[in-house]
């Protein structure tokens, strides 16, 4: 590794909207540099087929490819390529492709000096092309624009080049045109990386400073961290520590991804590689953390934030005896998924369970699917909630479980206001769907709606970009599904954190026979109380089995009942055994039945099987 000083190193990423060909181009680059053998089919598809994540929730092919990326080894790889008579070390650093992982995209880009902005020449700029472009720009990276799929007859390189110019201010002369599939133009990409991307800076003499930008989990060796060496040299046997957790480790192995792990004697400044150091759990490898030599502290890389869960849900076993098994399964899964947070939770209705925090709803769905698939776990997952801020006179409390949400309608609760997380969303659609998309946004409490056209001056099928601020809670339910179906699949969507906003929210509880069911509580905006209340009592009415007595099903906000349905009693035919004629005896039996039902109603609690929860919550989550 000593043969590769900074001036012959290039660290770069491929940034693209999902499906624009990132993996295909990465494969071509690896083949062209002799890092991997040319293969006839991509491996991605096999991974996708293996992970049968439900398609019904609008998880499209694109999202599936994210899942593949995210559950299999990251595609960070080092290649050696000879240019101008000198071997160069090119490090391709992988970035996740989905909005749920925007924070991680930003961290992986911090390990690069350049980025290939890959845009499909048949599709043009999409929502994620814009968001990743801005992240790369903010980080000061050199951007190499590349139009892909020019082999397709439907490709329109000139038009898309004009789009790149008008959207990003890119000079059309800088744009490369390639087909990652056939390999056409890919040599030019390698040349551009070497010529345009600046080499990293770094000093061998300075104390060790390694930037942790990704991690993998190996069943035998534990966590493998991917690092970019800023300064100093990292060797096997070194004693190191983390700036964030302050934990100490001894390096058992260093090396590069070529594309498999290849051990090396050291990692030098500017280089990118892996380090194994007996980290036991993925949660120890904080993306964005800085590693230093033990006893020689350095300034950590700026902008570090621990992972922030944005969607929470309770997970309970269908059979409450299975809790220990479920908890064990969850813990084993989180070994390979550093972004899930876990806390124990107990519910009167559902028993013991875990409250899990996810980066987004897709993340949640993938986790659930993996839990069900890999551990054969029959689980009930409660409706997703976002973290709300409840502001009291003297303190602010973050609430991520509706059962802990105070009754804001009660003036003695001393709640000053409630705030909810919002996101800045952008949607790109052909203009004929613009009205439909605006409607969708308005019905999800969007504000500051704005739009402009992407293809200024073109007459055929112009596309518009719609931007708005929207509460996160509105997009964690069915927003994505509706977006796809109401735009016939054409809309692309992305969002970024928009902070917190004061909002008129309250807790809605559902009462069965006058008793609240904790696991069903939800936080609802005032404008939606009536609709949601009515909808859910109807749904409950459908799934709850009839009891021996009449059961009122009510939705309430504070003391106010918003909606009600009545589940009529099951009527046992107590007169069945009587032969005709005996009118008084028949009446006596019926009177007895009435009386015992009256008593039962008074003392009786509703027998609600776990399956009913499963039914209601699995539809509620959609
Ligand atoms: N015709 C044609 N198809 C391409 C080209 N590049 C990629 N594709 C196809 O486009 C689809 C998406 O390609 P991927 O490389 O998986 O794109 P990606 O979604 O950005 O990659 P991930 O990072 O895995 O999500 C695949 O079916 C590829 O075969 C190209 O240059 N021409």
Mean predicted confidence (pLDDT) in 322-326? 89
What tokens were used for 184?
């056409």
Asked if the model's pLDDT at residue 575 lies above 90, the reply is: no
CA of 120 to the centre of ligand 1 (A): 9
| Ligand 1 atom nearest residue 20's Cα | 20
Instruction: Answer whether 179 contacts ligand 1 (Cβ < 6 A).
Output: yes
Instruction: Answer whether 126 contacts ligand 1 (Cβ < 6 A).
Output: no
Instruction: Answer whether 28 contacts ligand 1 (Cβ < 6 A).
Output: no
Average pLDDT of the residues of the chain = 84
Q: What is the pLDDT of residue 39?
A: 63
Using CA positions, which residue lies closest to atom 19 of ligand 1? 19
Give the 3-state secondary structure of residue 234: strand
Cβ–Cβ < 8 Å for 13, 112: yes
Cβ–Cβ < 8 Å for 413, 391: no
Residue 53 burial by CB count (10 A; 0-12/13-18/19+): exposed, middle or buried? buried
Instruction: Answer whether 541 contacts ligand 1 (Cβ < 6 A).
Output: no
CA of 23 to the centre of ligand 1 (A): 7
CA of 149 to the centre of ligand 1 (A): 8
Substitution candidate for ligand 1 out of 24, 95, 147 with most atoms within 8 A of CB: 24
Top mean pLDDT of 38-47, 237-246, 453-462 is at 237-246
Q: Of 13-27, 29-43, 422-436, where does mean pLDDT reach its minimum?
A: 29-43
C-alpha distances (whole Å) from 453 to each of 147, 166, 430 are 20, 10, 9
| Ligand 1 atom nearest residue 65's Cα | 25
Strands 86-93, 9-16: pairing is parallel
Top mean pLDDT of 262-276, 364-378, 461-475 is at 262-276
Substitution candidate for ligand 1 out of 115, 180, 184, 492 with most atoms within 8 A of CB: 180
Using CA positions, which residue lies closest to atom 7 of ligand 1? 21
Mean predicted confidence (pLDDT) in 575-587? 72
Residue 320, C-beta contacts closer than 8 angstroms, at least 6 positions apart? 350, 351, 352, 610
Instruction: Answer whether 24 contacts ligand 1 (Cβ < 6 A).
Output: yes
Q: What is the pLDDT of residue 414?
A: 87
C-alpha distances (whole Å) from 487 to each of 35, 336, 382, 429, 491 are 41, 35, 29, 7, 6
CA of 21 to the centre of ligand 1 (A): 3
Asked if the model's pLDDT at residue 74 lies above 90, the reply is: no
CA angle at 16 for the pair 13 and 18, rounded to the nearest 5°: 125
Phi, then psi, of 314 in degrees rounded to 5 = -90, 140
Q: What is the pLDDT of residue 18?
A: 80
Q: What is the DSSP string of 264-321?
A: -SEE-TT-EEEEEEEE-SGGGS-TT-EEEETT---PPPTT-------EEEEEEESSGG
CA distance linking residue 226 with residue 217, whole number of Å:
11
Phi, then psi, of 159 in degrees rounded to 5 = -65, -40
Q: What is the pLDDT of residue 61?
A: 42
Q: What is the pLDDT of residues 516-548, one digit of tens each?
A: 888 889 999 999 999 999 998 998 888 887 877
Handedness of CA 84, 85, 89, 93 (dihedral sign): positive
CA of 19 to the centre of ligand 1 (A): 5
| Ligand 1 atom nearest residue 26's Cα | 15
CA distance linking residue 564 with residue 541, whole number of Å:
10
CA distance linking residue 293 with residue 297, whole number of Å:
7
The pLDDT confidence band at residue 62, using thresholds 50, 70 and 90, is very low
Mean predicted confidence (pLDDT) in 225-229? 94
CA of 218 to the centre of ligand 1 (A): 28
Mean predicted confidence (pLDDT) in 381-398? 91
Instruction: Answer whether 230 contacts ligand 1 (Cβ < 6 A).
Output: no
Instruction: Answer whether 23 contacts ligand 1 (Cβ < 6 A).
Output: yes
Mean predicted confidence (pLDDT) in 57-83? 58
Instruction: Answer whether 148 contacts ligand 1 (Cβ < 6 A).
Output: yes
Other beta carbons less than 10 A from residue 343's beta carbon: 12
Alpha helices in 422-522 (DSSP H): 434-442, 472-475, 479-486
Using CA positions, which residue lies closest to atom 22 of ligand 1? 23
Q: What is the pLDDT of residue 534?
A: 94
Mean predicted confidence (pLDDT) in 22-28? 91
CA distance linking residue 129 with residue 15, whole number of Å:
7
Strands 415-430, 492-502: pairing is antiparallel
Q: Of 33-42, 380-389, 465-474, where does mean pLDDT reach its minimum?
A: 33-42
C-alpha distances (whole Å) from 157 to each of 175, 239, 452 are 10, 52, 22
Give the 3-state secondary structure of residue 511: strand
| Ligand 1 atom nearest residue 178's Cα | 31
Using CA positions, which residue lies closest to atom 10 of ligand 1? 21
Instruction: Answer whether 17 contacts ligand 1 (Cβ < 6 A).
Output: no
Q: What is the pLDDT of residue 610?
A: 66
Q: Of 10-24, 99-113, 528-542, 591-605, where does mean pLDDT reach its minimum?
A: 591-605
Other beta carbons less than 10 A from residue 161's beta carbon: 22
Substitution candidate for ligand 1 out of 19, 71, 118, 156 with most atoms within 8 A of CB: 19
Place of tokens 């890389």: 301
Residue 43 is given by DSSP the state S
Q: What is the pLDDT of residue 69?
A: 42
CA of 365 to the centre of ligand 1 (A): 24
Q: What is the pLDDT of residue 410?
A: 84
Instruction: Answer whether 398 contacts ligand 1 (Cβ < 6 A).
Output: no
Q: What is the pLDDT of residue 67?
A: 46
| Ligand 1 atom nearest residue 152's Cα | 1
Higher pLDDT among residues 46 and 230, named by residue: 230
Instruction: Answer whether 61 contacts ligand 1 (Cβ < 6 A).
Output: no
Q: What is the pLDDT of residue 92?
A: 95
CA of 151 to the centre of ligand 1 (A): 12
Q: What is the pLDDT of residue 471?
A: 95
Instruction: Answer whether 20 contacts ligand 1 (Cβ < 6 A).
Output: yes
Q: What is the pLDDT of residues 282-312, one digit of tens each?
A: 778 888 899 999 999 999 988 777 777 889 9
Residue 209 is given by DSSP the state E
282: left (phi over 0), alpha (psi -120 to 50) or beta: alpha
CA of 270 to the centre of ligand 1 (A): 30
Asked if the model's pLDDT at residue 47 lies above 60, the reply is: no
Mean predicted confidence (pLDDT) in 84-97? 88
Q: What pairs with residue 234 in β-bridges?
A: 267
Q: What is the pLDDT of residues 152-184, one digit of tens each?
A: 999 999 999 999 999 999 999 999 999 999 999
The pLDDT confidence band at residue 565, using thresholds 50, 70 and 90, is very high
Residue 198 burial by CB count (10 A; 0-12/13-18/19+): exposed, middle or buried? middle
Instruction: Answer whether 385 contacts ligand 1 (Cβ < 6 A).
Output: no
CA of 539 to the centre of ligand 1 (A): 42
Give the end-to-end CA distance of the chain in Å, rounded to a whole number: 51
Handedness of CA 576, 580, 582, 583 (dihedral sign): positive
Strands 311-317, 351-358: pairing is antiparallel
| Ligand 1 atom nearest residue 17's Cα | 20
Cβ–Cβ < 8 Å for 90, 81: yes
Instruction: Answer whether 98 contacts ligand 1 (Cβ < 6 A).
Output: no
Q: What is the DSSP string of 87-114?
A: EEEEEEE----SGGGHHHHHHHHTT-SE
């Amino acid at each position: 590794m000593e043969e590769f000083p900074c001036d012959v190193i290039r660290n770069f990423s491929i940034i693209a909207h999902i499906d624009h060909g990132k993996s295909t181009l990465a494969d071509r680059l690896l083949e062209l540099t002799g890092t991997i053998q040319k293969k006839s089919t991509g491996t991605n598809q096999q991974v996708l087929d293996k992970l049968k994540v439900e398609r019904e929730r609008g998880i499209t092919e694109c999202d599936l490819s994210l899942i593949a990326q995210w559950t299999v080894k990251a595609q960070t790889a080092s290649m050696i390529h000879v240019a101008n008579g000198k071997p160069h070390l090119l490090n391709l650093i992988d970035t996740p492709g989905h909005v749920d992982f925007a924070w991680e995209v930003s961290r992986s880009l911090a390990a690069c000096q350049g980025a290939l902005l890959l845009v499909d020449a048949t599709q043009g700029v999409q929502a994620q092309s814009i968001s990743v472009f801005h992240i790369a720009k903010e980080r000061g990276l050199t951007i190499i624009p590349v139009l892909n799929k020019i082999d397709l007859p439907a490709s329109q390189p000139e038009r898309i080049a004009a789009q790149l110019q008008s959207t990003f201010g890119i000079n059309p002369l800088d744009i490369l045109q390639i087909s990652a599939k056939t390999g056409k133009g890919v040599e030019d990409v390698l040349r551009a990386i070497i010529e345009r991307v600046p080499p990293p800076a770094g000093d061998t003499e300075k104390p060790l400073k390694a930037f942790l930008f990704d991690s993998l989990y190996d069943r035998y060796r534990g966590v493998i961290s991917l690092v970019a060496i800023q300064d100093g040299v990292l060797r096997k046997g070194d004693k190191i520590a983390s700036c964030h957790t302050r934990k100490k480790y001894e390096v058992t192995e260093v090396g590069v991804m070529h594309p498999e792990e290849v051990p090396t004697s050291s990692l030098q400044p500017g280089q990118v590689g892996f380090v194994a150091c007996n980290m036991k759990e993925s949660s120890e490898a904080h993306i964005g953390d800085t590693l230093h030599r033990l006893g020689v502290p350095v300034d950590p890389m700026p902008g570090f934030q621990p992972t922030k869960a944005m969607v929470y849900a309770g997970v309970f076993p269908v059979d409450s005896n299975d809790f220990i098994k479920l908890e064990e399964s969850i813990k084993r899964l989180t070994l390979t998924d550093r972004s899930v947070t876990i806390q124990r939770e107990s519910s009167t209705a559902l028993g013991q369970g875990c409250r899990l925090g996810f980066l987004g709803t897709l993340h949640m769905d993938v986790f659930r699917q993996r839990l069900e698939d890999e551990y054969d776990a029959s689980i009930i997952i409660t409706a997703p909630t976002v973290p709300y801020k409840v502001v009291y006179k003297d303190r602010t409390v973050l609430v991520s479980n509706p059962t802990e949400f105070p009754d804001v309608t009660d003036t003695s609760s001393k709640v000053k206001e409630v705030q909810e997380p919002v996101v800045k969303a952008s949607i790109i659609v052909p203009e004929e769907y613009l009205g439909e998309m605006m409607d969708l946004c308005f019905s999800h409490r969007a504000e500051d709606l704005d739009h402009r056209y992407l293809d200024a001056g073109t007459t055929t099928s112009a596309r518009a970009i719609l931007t708005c601020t929207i509460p996160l809670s509105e997009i964690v339910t069915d927003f994505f599904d509706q977006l796809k179906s109401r735009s016939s699949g054409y809309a692309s969507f992305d969002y970024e954190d928009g902070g917190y906003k004061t909002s008129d929210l309250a807790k809605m509880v559902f009462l069965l026979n006058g008793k609240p069911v904790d696991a069903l509580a939800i936080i609802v905006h005032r404008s939606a109380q009536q609709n949601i209340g009515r909808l859910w009592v109807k749904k409950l009415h459908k799934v709850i089995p009839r009891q021996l007595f009449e059961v009122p099903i009510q939705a309430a906000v504070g003391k106010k009942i918003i909606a009600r349905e009545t589940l009529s009693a099951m009527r046992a035919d107590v007169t069945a055994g009587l032969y005709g004629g005996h009118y008084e005896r028949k009446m006596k039996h019926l009177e007895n039945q009435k009386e015992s039902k009256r008593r039962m109603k008074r003392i009786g609690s509703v027998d609600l099987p776990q399956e009913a929860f499963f039914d209601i919550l699995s539809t509620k989550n959609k």
